[in-house]
Structure 1
Amino acid sequence: MMLIRPVQHKDLADILVLAGKTGIGMTSLPKDEKHLAARIERAIATWEGHLERGEQGYLFVLEDSEQQKVVGVSAIEVAVGLSEPWYNFRVGTLVHASKALNVYKPVPTLYLSNDHTGYSELCTLFLDQDYRHNKNGQLLSKVRFLFIATFRQYFARKVIAEMRGVSDENGLSPFWEGVGRHFFGMDFAQADFLTGTGQKSFIAELMPKHPLYVDFLTPEARAVIGTVHPQTAPARAVLESEGLHYQGYVDIFDAGPTLEADIDDIRAVKQSRRLKVVIGESASDAPCYLVANENYVNYRALLVHGGVTEGSLTLDRHSAEALGVAAGDTVRAITLFQQEHAS
């Protein structure tokens, strides 16, 4: 069974293995044992209520219960930019005009921005290559929306997700080569590692404070602004299907797009339902549901083919035990895909 649960201290070794498989460009999951241990500790402290809002962050794991192995992770930051500045580029336009010369020319620009300060963030989504089947990726990504729907009071008005931008297998980023290298004097991989391990002060110290004219960049750098890494395209599609969209903000290192939405407009927040548990057998052709208990500290979620009738959801005994619920308890559920409908 594939089960979502909060991260635990014992998961460090498995998560370190996963971090070694991400490649360059995923700043939130660096292969650094000390940093990952601190990330796990911070998530546990968040669930225990020990941290200020700007430090809070949830980390979920996808566990193969038969193998007793963590095979994926996903996370939510409660409010970015409150403890240290949150940077991105806003893609804008300057107009150069002269009536005398009959010239009117819009010029695309990049502005250094802190506009997303205080927003919640979806981040750190990674699934082992061997498990990218049977809707595991959908489960790992979308469970965050169901958690937000259940515990809405802990999150901001808006949510963002920074998508990994274009880089090759050697860690070469066209945007970094066209922009970042001129200001930072280091390789993309080094800058990526520094930010992933929390060493971000150099961004404020070295980033240009004035708008950058996109037309002055190399064709290769211009071409990747707002473009995702090929391996990230499925993750972007999942988020867009749930209501997030690109609004003209990109990462300052690789120019990957930032998706955003009002949390209350997200499908799982609007459409998920609280249902009473009935123990039994449901038809295998029933709609696929993402189902979670409502236990904040011992949160559990999984996928089931469930039958929904008159405010109840039928779960088999094995699924109910995994969720930690019994007949008559309440769970929150939503169809995994928008087009599916309960009978």
Structure 2
Amino acid sequence: MSPKKPLTPEQHRALHDGLVIPAHPLALDEHRLLDERHQRALTRYYMASGAGGIAVGVHSTQFEIRDPKFNLYERVLRLASEEVERAGLQRPFLRIAGICGPVPQALGEAETAAGLGYDAGLLSMGGLSGLSELELLKRTEQVAERIPVVGFYLQPSVGGKVFSFDFWRAFADIPGVVAIKLAPFNRYQTIDVVRAVCCSERRDDIALYTGNDDNIVNDLLTVYRFKAGERIIEKRIVGGLLGHWAVWTRKAVELLDEIKGVRSEEQGRLSAEWLSRNIEVTDANAAFFDPAHGFAGCIPGIHEVLRRQGLMKGTWCLNPHEELSPGQKDEIDRIYRDYPHLNDDAFVREHLAEWLS
């Protein structure tokens, strides 16, 4: 069964052309209370940067927003949706809501998101290790009846699990699945998903998005080619839904536009310089996302960059134990020094007062 409100043809085309979709952070004040002024400013920043959507209520927004003692899930989704409505953009802009938890919770979040005007739900399968692959497929089907679904392959080191090729092959066949975010941080598992989609009759209905922060540029440049029956099927990862793109978003938009130009070049010739570009972006991500400490500082790392730009007041998280790791500030300093062409500080300075008004 298809969702109650499917994507419009314009949204479908934009999603398949490839979009920059930042994973929206949560702005807090020194009392760890929602800082509505900076929260709204972040949404305005992403729209002004040229992003093609935002993902709200996802890992970067902090899963604790669902905790009854904070009760921020609906409020944070509402603030972002209000800003998108107020902007009146004359281009497709996708509002994607993070959806997680057991079936009752996932269905409730899907209903909330749809009611707030969200276009799709990024369906997490984290924290559900007790469910079989079949049960997770049935859960997806139920959510997809309420809102278009973006699947999510999350790396096991931060709560995900490894899924079989057959799981993703069945997943791709579910009506209402419009995209899949690949974030296993693993080439074998990434290939499993792309091959599974290529083998599905719905292959042209599903857009692939990278969440592999350790390989963003290469993911976006690669043509995946597999045999499905008697046909050779080609598929690309067309855009990114990334916490990494929650910072320096204007530069991310420029990067994706440049990659789209390279994709269309005659004979598909590719300069080796792109391999070096991939390493630059991955090196920057290492400073922001803190793999050196098991990703413990990934959310504060995003906050630190936004704090330096004035888009957030501090690096506070709802969980007071979630802080920058030792040496992480120094690493962010290094990235600013070594790769000045990656930041969009000048763009933010030009518009910050407007976004905070």
Which bin holds the TM-score, normalised by the shorter protein? Answer: under 0.3
Q: Which has the higher strand share?
A: 1
Larger Rg computed on CA atoms: 1
Q: Report the TM-score when normalising by structure 2.
A: 0.25
Q: Report the TM-score when normalising by structure 1.
A: 0.26
